[in-house]
Amino acid sequence: MHSSAEKKGLTIWLTGLPSAGKSTIARKLATLLKGEGHRVTVLDGDEVRERLNKGLGFSKEDRDENIRRIAYVARLLTEAGSTVIVAAISPYRDARDAARAEIGRFAEIHVNCSLEECIRRDVKGLYKKALAGTLDHFTGVSDPYEPPLMPELVVETDREAPIDSARGIIFCLQSLGYLPASTKEELAPTERLAPIQTGSEA
């Protein structure tokens, strides 16, 4: 049986540099939440750009429009009672703040990873092109990334496994009252995952 907190719906917004691990954590998080009986929708930035926002570029104006459209869809789903996971670079703080204001029940998770590690993981070769100067407007190299000032949680993906990051997010949201307590023993918090970092200057 779902609690009233879950029935209200929620958007979990994962933001971070390219290759920081947002999509991987989103998939792990979705699996864990579905196992708890939640109705989950994942809005992955790459997929949304291909299917919903095709034609938008990477100027600040187009990036803001991309986030505005994602936030609109996330709000509709949240209002319908879904748990929505957004995995999008969403580099600009004001666009994320606008999404928070529009959606209401919103938790911002900073998927933090060093630029060096993101470059090492660069399976698409995009960092290589950006560093060589052949790819413009690439976040973290030729475009800025503005980390959240007060996220609900910061996960450190160059120091922890994706499944541990996903579990940490669930623990955080449970402690904040966004999600009901887990019914499964394997989701019990561990000492390493316990801290909830709010007001971070990351």
Rounded Cα–Cα distance for residues 96 and 92 (Å): 7
Rounded Cα–Cα distance for residues 45 and 182 (Å): 28
Give whole-number Cα distances, 63 to 77, 101, 128, 196, in Å. Answer: 21, 18, 21, 29
Q: Residue 34: CA atoms inside 13 Å, Cβ hemisphere, count?
A: 10
| Selection from 38, 45, 77 nearest residue 181 by Cα | 38
Out of 19, 23, 82, 90, pick the active-site residue.
90
Q: Is 90 a catalytic residue?
A: yes
- Catalytic residues, by residue number, are 90
